[in-house]
Amino acid sequence: MKVIQAYRYALDLTPVQERAVLAHAGAARVAHNWALARVVAVMNQRAAERTYGVADADLTPAIGWSLPALRKAWNAAKDEAAPWWRECSKEAFNTGLDALARGLKNWSDSRTGKRAGRPVGFPRFKSRRRSVPSVRFTTETMRVEADRKHVVLPRLGRLKLHESARKLARRLDNSTARIMSATLRRDGGRWQVAFCVEVDRADRAPECPGSVVGVDVGVTHLAVLSTGELVDNPRHLSAAQARLRRLGRALSRKTGPDRRTRQRPSQRWARASARLGRAHARVSNLRRDGLHKLTTRLARTHGTIVVEDLNVAGMLRNRRLARHIADAGFGELRRQLAYKTQWNGGRLVVADRWYPSSKTCSGCGAVKTKLPLSERTYTCTTCSIILDRDLNAARNLAALAAEVDTAGSGPVAGRGANRKTRVRGLVATKRQPGTATADQTGTVPPQGRTTDHMLTRAH
């Protein structure tokens, strides 16, 4: 199968090369801000004319928001907006215009309801100091040199890599990959190049195609598998917190920028800011490396992986656990499992968000009405089973794979969720205030739905 895959490598640029890359990133920012200023001006002009009672046919002509329309307008005005445009590649200006076109489309789709998720704000102007410099090349020559330690990009020439690009070079030599674009980006004080590659991947099968594993993520342990394996949570952010605080205090003592007085930062502030940025980048790299190793091992070993559909955005609203949840990377773990199971011929099953995996007994299927987060050991009052709370949830997730009749990924209901699959055992039903015991009459609540706070015996 053919997939779109990214290969990212760190660069070792000379001062001359770094200035050239910064010039291209600045050109992308200039084109983005120019086009955005023009779009805002036209929108404000048309809104003002409507207040004057001008007919729609007589309003100022609207400017197109698509990439071809923005590129046409930029080509007509680039001699005045950027007389130096010949010094940079045309791809630099196209990068800024493409980012603006996608931002405007996302904002428009979010307002009209075509885009799901959180509301998308209107695009903002990119700052020279606060924005992340980046530029993308989609045309002309982009290749990896024969020594696999250098890459060639348009207008920038031959750039040295910090590490070998042998994995990408092998696919290019075997004609199983095609470079579609190359993006240069400065992250944590270091320039990196990311190749977007169309890869022809061979069909693979997991080492144990019939193996089913449930993965319960958490803060105490990063992941608890239904096999009994406990994956420790490295807590990279917590380990680096003392150093980050020290670097942050050192940065606050320097003379930084002030937008009100237009004061420019001092050189010491810039160096202290770079040190703090490198410390944060190290934490991010360590977290990413650990998640990649874990998800790769799971996808290559097990044929079916069952995870929960966690509301990570809602969990981050808990001010006591937000930092630890963000440090664990729950959303990134599921995202990596989604495409790695597809690459390795496996299957990812996502349990329904309201599936009570922690409250359900993995032995008899009984569902508890309440289970406080502080209660780390699950004790079943029906079958008297006693085991770790997270291990019980992982076993319930593994058992869910046998109950769902689907070959693809996506949210599926399980025992106690009362959604798609046959309900078995005890299902949660609502308890009225003041009642001593749960209602076990088997009636359906007025709302017609079942939640974790309800308890009734299924028919």
Locate 288 and state its tokens.
């990413």
DSSP H helices, 63-165, are 67-81, 90-112
Nearest CA-CA partner of 328 in 226, 188, 217, 213:
217
Question: How remote is the C-alpha of 110 from its chain's centroid?
Answer: 19
Please say if 308 is a catalytic residue: yes
Q: What are the phi and psi torsion angles at 30 (to 5°)?
A: -65, -45
Q: Considering 216, 327, 352, 452, which one is annotated as catalytic?
A: 216
Fill in the amino acid letter for 151: V
> What SS3 class is residue 268?
helix
- Rg of the chain, C-alpha, whole Å: 27
Instruction: Spot the catalytic one: 91, 98, 308, 352.
Output: 308
Cβ burial, residue 19 (10 Å; 0-12/13-18/19+): exposed
Distances (CA, A) of 49 to 55, 58, 122, 230: 8, 9, 21, 65
Does residue 216 have an active-site annotation? yes
Q: What angle do CA 373, 359, 387 make, to 5 degrees?
A: 80
Q: Which of 98, 327, 390, 452 is catalytic?
A: 390
Q: Distance of alpha carbon 31 from its chain centroid, rounded? A: 27
By annotation, the residues acting in catalysis are 216, 308, 390
